[in-house]
Amino acid sequence: MKLLQTIKRNYLELLPPAIFFLIAFSLILVTKRLVLSQYGISWAGFGSAVVGAFMVAKVVVVVDKLPFTHKFSDRKLIYIAFWKSLIYLLAALLVQYLERIIPLLRKLGSFAAANQSFLAETIWPHFWLIQIWLVVLLLVFSAQRELIRAIGRDKVMQMFFGARNNQAEK
């Protein structure tokens, strides 16, 4: 029973960032498809949007558990949002790097060769485009999350969607 509670809690913790990043990455994917279609290039990649969204969501959940993530909890929301965005970005970059370097390390046998192959094979304009979007999305996500934390989830839900049935009856 305790295992099921832990799984449920972890799932519910992962769900909000996963939904946010899935919507955002899907919009980026649609934009990419529209741009490429003008040149007669068809491109599919919804799977990469799903995997990317869950990867970033998991990074957010794991990083939130680290004590230094909450270093500026007593400061203004802008500082907290920028700090957490920076930590999330660095962690996401590390995960992206490891995701690419580990298969190369297995294939090539040495870290130097794997890193050299990674640097040579990376399409840098694409890499920087993804990182720019990731920075913007992490800033929006962090600011939204800190605002909800400061105002309160119930108050935000009421502001966006109106009173809940049980609150309206009181």
Q: What is the pLDDT of residues 134-166, one digit of tens each?
A: 999 999 999 999 999 999 989 998 998 886 655
CA 137 to chain centre: 8
> What pLDDT is attached to residue 170?
47
Structure tokens at 83: 């700090």
The 10 Å Cβ neighbour count of residue 18 is: 20
The low-confidence residues of the chain, meaning pLDDT below 70, are 44, 163-170
pLDDT confidence of residue 10: 85
Cα end-to-end distance, the chain, whole Å:
34
pLDDT at position 72, please? 82
Residue-range domain boundaries for the chain: 1-65, 77-170
What is the average pLDDT value for the chain, to the nearest integer?
87
